[in-house]
Amino acid sequence: MEKRYVIGIDFGTESGRVVIADVEQGGELASHATLYRHGTIVEKLPGSGKALGQDWALQHPDDYREVLKQSVREVLRISGVRPEQVIGIGVDFTSCTILPVDAKGQPLCVQERYRNEPHAYVKLWKHHAAQEEANRINEWAKESGETFLARYGGKSSSEWMVAKVWQVLNEAPEIYQAAYRFVEAGDWIVQQLTGNWVRSNCSAGYKAFWHKQDGYPPRQFFKQLDPRLEDLTDTKLAGDVLPLGTRAGELSAEAAQLTGLCPGTAVAVATIDAHAGVAGSGAVRSGQMVMAMGTSLCLLVLSHNEVSVEGVSGVVEDGMITGLYGYEAGQPAVGDLFGWYCDQAVPGYVQEAAAKEGVSVHTWLEQRAAELKPGQHGLMAVDWWNGNRSVLEDADLSGLIVGLTLQTKPPEIYRALLESTAFGTRKIMEAFEEAGVHVNEIFACGGLPKRNRLFMQIYADVTGREIKIAAAAETTALGAAIHGAVAAGTERGGYPDLAAAAIQMAKVREETFRPIPENVAVYDDLYRQYIRLHDVFGRGGLVMKELKRIKRKLSNHSE
Ligand SMILES: Nc1ncnc2c1ncn2[C@@H]1O[C@H](COP(=O)(O)OP(=O)(O)O)[C@@H](O)[C@H]1O
Ligand SMILES: O=C(CO)[C@H](O)[C@H](O)COP(=O)(O)O
């Protein structure tokens, strides 16, 4: 049989990455990234310059089409694989990233009449301006006695589908009316590739309250939330919800022209980017956990059992691997937090020194921070630069560093920031253990394990656990490709299910990160201090929320 290949397309926060993988051997034959030209739109709309409110984060869908156009062709060119040898395509996307589209699937924001309307654009996962709507969903779920939020750690997030769609309805009812559908960006890409309107059980399950047995919450729930939302799930969120690995359709002639692939190639149901890291790391068994470490950090745990876990983002049956419950929890600013420090807060002399040595500011700081012993800097940071998405689930919380003195140096702060995210992860891991979801094996994937060794060692030391590293450089894209191999099916030379495909196609590196006992002891002590700050500022004190309220009030006045 001729060699067969699959393509995985990973839409991250800053760029889209495409890999091509050998169906039998796995790994990555070639990869290519296309940066989003518009990036993340946080201050004003492109073109008109219309100002956005606080906590907004938009993207432009043309950037995603550019990834399909550029990077798919590039991996074919680099690898020398012929289009007819590609049997399947898989797509993963950050989530909950949504957009309003018309009946043909055209995004409203590219239509002339809606170009200046912020609500017509893609709302990126980290758009946090729907916190009020999320709060009202939480209050109403409690009052109405609906129990579905128990699967989401008891709280809905401002990042998710219903809060975001409701914000559109509240602030731009004409856009809500004009939208034929609100779709997850991953499902939209699948629609663009195949012409089919299909929703993924992964994003519907984790981000839109959909449940394998119960479907969406009852109409009555939405009606009492807001009478205008009564038919939301039958209209704007309509579409068959299909399980991961299913074939969503075949590549249309138009999409074949766009990508350079053959019409008829199998296209898988989309998955969430972090969740694709599960297959991409080959972690397919109960008790295995994957840490998808990039802009944010997602912890993904597989289990035979469904229980309630404090602060979990969601638990979905078949949400990562068929036949298992997949738990997701995480932190919304990890790489982004380190990026903020390098871009916004380091003094000029650090940037100059890094440039002189020909390394990134991250690497310059990492090298110096690695010379410090745990606890030596006397600092403690709390990692809520983009709110808290775990046990506190509150986008209004913000960052904190204590212990600063006139002697504090940038590498010390950098190290404290790396540590703060590891403490946040340990807190989540403890919540899993307390709920009886046991983790026996940990894998790391995403952009950070390959970029920052100190970061990885700190995670091993703070958690006291060995961490295996997924071998693929673009693990999530490989995970998406694995979904493509399953969508192709055995009749086209693919695999029968995700577990079989992942075991064959995904590998881990030989080198692992192991905890260093003397560091573990110091970090145990420091973690207790982290928890004190976590509880004082997160559970009890209102300082951060009040600061946010005052800022919101002032920015509303100045608009
Ligand atoms: N050497 C580094 N150490 C720590 N963080 C880094 C380093 N280089 C880049 N980053 C951060 O990594 C993040 C990008 O992660 P990546 O996994 O590549 O993308 P995505 O999250 O979009 O999938 C950015 O937030 C950036 O600030
Ligand atoms: O919420 C998510 C997963 O459920 C987002 O997709 C994720 O947090 C953003 O991912 P990345 O850090 O890879 O850009």
Residue 328 sits in the same domain as residue 409:
yes
C-beta 295 within 6 A of ligand 2: yes
Q: Give the ligand whose atoms come closest to the C-alpha of residue 418.
A: 1
| Ligand 1 atom at shortest distance from the alpha carbon of 446 | 17
Residue 206: the pLDDT is 97
C-beta 40 within 6 A of ligand 1: no
CA nearest neighbour of 483 among 275, 287, 285? 275
Residue 247 sits in the same domain as residue 312:
no
Residue 94 sits in the same domain as residue 60:
yes
| Residue of the CA atom closest to atom 10 of ligand 2 | 94
C-beta 16 within 6 A of ligand 1: no
CA nearest neighbour of 329 among 353, 302, 362, 301? 301
> Cα of 146 to ligand 1 centre, how many Å?
38
How far CA 376 is from CA of 45, 51, 334, 372, 379, in Å, comes to: 45, 44, 22, 6, 8
Do the domain assignments include residue 501?
no
Residue 49: the pLDDT is 85
Q: For residue 68, what are the contacts with CB-CB under 8 A and spacing of at least 6? A: 9, 16, 189, 192, 193, 255, 258, 259
Other C-beta atoms closer than 10 Å to the C-beta of 140 total 16
CA nearest neighbour of 334 among 214, 417, 430, 435? 417
Residue 20 sits in the same domain as residue 125:
yes
Residue 270 sits in the same domain as residue 376:
no
C-beta 362 within 6 A of ligand 1: yes
Indicate the pairing of strand 297-303 with strand 288-293. Answer: antiparallel
Structure tokens at 145: 């006695």
How far CA 181 is from CA of 92, 185, 277, in Å, comes to: 20, 12, 28
For 14, the domain range is 5-282
CA 354 – CA 351 distance, rounded (Å): 5
Residue 557: the pLDDT is 56
C-beta 446 within 6 A of ligand 1: yes
Residue 423 sits in the same domain as residue 540:
yes
C-beta 447 within 6 A of ligand 1: yes
Rg, the chain, Cα only: 23
> Cα of 274 to ligand 2 centre, how many Å?
6
Contact indicator for 231, 349 with CB cutoff of 8 Å: no
Residue 443: the pLDDT is 97
Residue 35 sits in the same domain as residue 182:
yes
Do the domain assignments include residue 274?
yes
Residue 353 sits in the same domain as residue 408:
yes
C-beta 332 within 6 A of ligand 1: no
Q: Which residue has tokens 């022209």?
A: 257
Residue 141: the pLDDT is 87
CA 349 – CA 542 distance, rounded (Å): 37
C-beta 298 within 6 A of ligand 2: yes
Residue 71: the pLDDT is 98
Residue 84 sits in the same domain as residue 228:
yes
CA nearest neighbour of 158 among 113, 124, 183? 124
Identify the three-state secondary structure at position 490. helix
CA 447 – CA 338 distance, rounded (Å): 13
Q: Give the ligand whose atoms come closest to the C-alpha of residue 337.
A: 1
Do the domain assignments include residue 504?
no
Testing ligand 2's pocket by substitution, the residue of 272, 273, 331, 428 carrying the most ligand atoms inside 8 A of its CB is 273
C-beta 339 within 6 A of ligand 1: yes
Residue 558: the pLDDT is 54
| Ligand 1 atom at shortest distance from the alpha carbon of 447 | 17
CA 74 – CA 67 distance, rounded (Å): 10
| Ligand 1 atom at shortest distance from the alpha carbon of 343 | 27
Do the domain assignments include residue 486?
no
Q: Give the ligand whose atoms come closest to the C-alpha of residue 205.
A: 2
Burial of 282 (0-12, 13-18, 19+ CB in 10 A): buried
Residue 67 sits in the same domain as residue 194:
yes
CA 448 – CA 202 distance, rounded (Å): 24
Residue 449: the pLDDT is 95
Do the domain assignments include residue 484?
no
| Residue of the CA atom closest to atom 7 of ligand 2 | 94
Q: Give the ligand whose atoms come closest to the C-alpha of residue 297.
A: 2
Burial 178-205 (b: 16+ CB within 10 A, else e): bbbbbbbbbbbbbbbbbbbbbbbbbbbb
Phi, psi values for residue 35, rounded to 5°: -70, 145
> Cα of 474 to ligand 2 centre, how many Å?
15
Q: Give the ligand whose atoms come closest to the C-alpha of residue 332.
A: 2
C-beta 282 within 6 A of ligand 2: no
Q: Give the ligand whose atoms come closest to the C-alpha of residue 385.
A: 1
Residue 450: the pLDDT is 92
Do the domain assignments include residue 201?
yes
DSSP state of 241: E
Which CATH number does the domain housing residue 406 bear?
3.30.420.40
**Centroid of chain to Cα 125:** 7
Do the domain assignments include residue 483?
no
Residue 54: the pLDDT is 87
- Domain count of the fold of the chain: 2
Structure tokens at 361: 């500011």
Q: At what angle do helices 348-357 and 361-369 cross, to 10 degrees?
A: 100
Do the domain assignments include residue 505?
no
Residue 203 sits in the same domain as residue 334:
no
> Cα of 159 to ligand 2 centre, how many Å?
11
Contact indicator for 280, 443 with CB cutoff of 8 Å: no
Residue 86 sits in the same domain as residue 190:
yes
> Cα of 459 to ligand 1 centre, how many Å?
16
C-beta 300 within 6 A of ligand 2: no
CA 175 – CA 187 distance, rounded (Å): 20
> Tens of pLDDT along the chain (559 residues)?
689 999 999 999 999 999 999 999 998 999 999 999 999 999 999 888 899 988 999 999 999 999 999 999 999 999 999 999 999 999 999 999 999 999 999 999 999 999 999 999 999 999 999 999 999 999 998 888 888 999 998 889 999 999 999 999 999 999 999 999 999 999 999 999 999 999 999 999 999 999 999 999 999 999 999 999 999 999 999 999 999 999 999 999 999 999 999 999 999 999 999 999 999 999 999 999 999 999 899 999 999 999 989 889 999 999 999 999 999 999 999 999 999 999 999 999 999 999 999 999 999 999 999 999 999 999 999 999 999 988 888 888 999 999 999 999 999 999 999 999 999 999 999 999 999 999 999 999 999 999 999 999 999 999 999 999 999 999 999 999 999 999 999 999 999 999 999 999 999 999 999 999 999 999 999 999 999 999 999 987 789 989 988 988 887 655 5
Residue 232: the pLDDT is 98
- The amino acid occupying position 464 is G
Q: Give the ligand whose atoms come closest to the C-alpha of residue 272.
A: 2
C-beta 335 within 6 A of ligand 1: yes
CA 475 – CA 158 distance, rounded (Å): 28
Tell me: the pLDDT tens digits for 398-431? 999 999 999 999 999 999 999 999 999 999 999 9
| Residue of the CA atom closest to atom 11 of ligand 1 | 335
C-beta 294 within 6 A of ligand 2: yes
C-beta 274 within 6 A of ligand 2: yes
C-beta 14 within 6 A of ligand 1: yes
For 265, half-sphere exposure in the C-beta direction (CA atoms, 13 angstrom radius) is: 31
